[in-house]
């Protein structure tokens, strides 16, 4: 069986971001699973023009464009900024539209406070729905993230291993079902795959 392509997007370009630790750790967990192919995209690596935005400039980001075209789903690592998401994350997502349709998305919420980014995830759900993404219902929440990893980025709380397994099991299920659907059930949104 083909692997599921499930890239991870680190959704902030803040210089001292803590979200880099959960993002890298989760990628390493995903790489252990034989049914998953992944790679990390970092909002830092997207250099945007000051005077343009959106799908009109997607060809300036061919790696992102081509990976999402092939992808079966997406993991978004979203730090909570004033109960919302970063502008950098939204700018990356807004580069594409039809490329996301009928694919799975799973959220990793990250916060300094005690709620683990639950509010940023809730804020993102209506937005990703408009992108055509289907949201899983098993989030991964890193509360007090600055205390959850050490200075070298090593995870300090082993409870996250089971949480990540449950999170990935659900994402794999959703991505598998949606892949089958895209390949076998006709839709005007993906005519090339259904004939």
Ligand X SMILES: Cc1cc2nc3c(=O)[nH]c(=O)nc-3n(C[C@H](O)[C@H](O)[C@H](O)COP(=O)(O)O)c2cc1C
Closest to 74 (Cα-Cα) out of 17, 122, 136: 136
Interaction of residue 87 with ligand X, rule CB under 6 A: no
Interaction of residue 24 with ligand X, rule CB under 6 A: no
Q: Give the residue with the Cβ less far from ligand X, 5 or 78.
A: 78
- CB count within 10 Å of CB 183 equals 10
In the complex, least distance from residue 24 CB atom to ligand X, rounded to whole angstroms: 12
> Angle, nearest 10°, between helix axes 159-184 and 20-31?
70
Interaction of residue 18 with ligand X, rule CB under 6 A: yes
Q: Give the residue with the Cβ less far from ligand X, 144 or 163.
A: 144
| Residue 37: strand, helix, or coil | strand
Q: Give the residue with the Cβ less far from ligand X, 14 or 102.
A: 14
Question: How many CA atoms lie within 13 Å of 62's alpha carbon, on the beta-carbon side?
Answer: 0
The two structure tokens encoding residue 159: 């409870």
C-alpha–C-alpha distance, residues 115 and 118, integer Å? 6
C-alpha–C-alpha distance, residues 78 and 31, integer Å? 20
Q: Give the residue with the Cβ less far from ligand X, 154 or 188.
A: 154
Site string for ligand X, 44-83 (x = CB under 6 A): -----------------------------------xxxxx
Which parts of this chain interact with ligand X (CB under 6 A)?
Answer: 12, 14, 17-19, 79-83, 110-113, 145-146
């Amino acid at each position: 069986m083909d692997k599921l392509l499930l890239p991870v997007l680190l959704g902030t370009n803040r210089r001292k971001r803590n979200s880099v630790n959960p993002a890298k750790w989760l990628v390493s967990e995903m790489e252990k699973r034989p049914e998953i192919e992944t790679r990390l995209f970092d909002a830092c690596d997207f250099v945007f023009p000051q005077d343009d935005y959106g799908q009109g400039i997607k060809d300036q980001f061919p790696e992102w464009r081509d990976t999402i075209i092939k992808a079966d789903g997406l993991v978004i690592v979203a730090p909570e900024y004033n109960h919302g998401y970063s502008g950098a994350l939204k700018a990356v997502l807004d580069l594409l539209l039809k490329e996301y349709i009928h694919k799975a998305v799973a959220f990793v919420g990250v916060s300094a406070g005690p709620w683990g980014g639950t509010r940023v995830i809730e804020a993102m759900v209506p937005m990703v729905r408009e992108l055509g993404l289907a949201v899983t219902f098993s989030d991964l929440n890193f509360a007090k993230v600055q205390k959850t990893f050490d200075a070298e980025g090593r995870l300090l709380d082993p409870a996250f291993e089971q949480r990540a397994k449950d999170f990935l099991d659900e994402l794999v299920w959703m991505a598998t079902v949606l892949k089958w659907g895209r390949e076998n059930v006709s839709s005007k949104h993906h005519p090339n795959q259904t004939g």
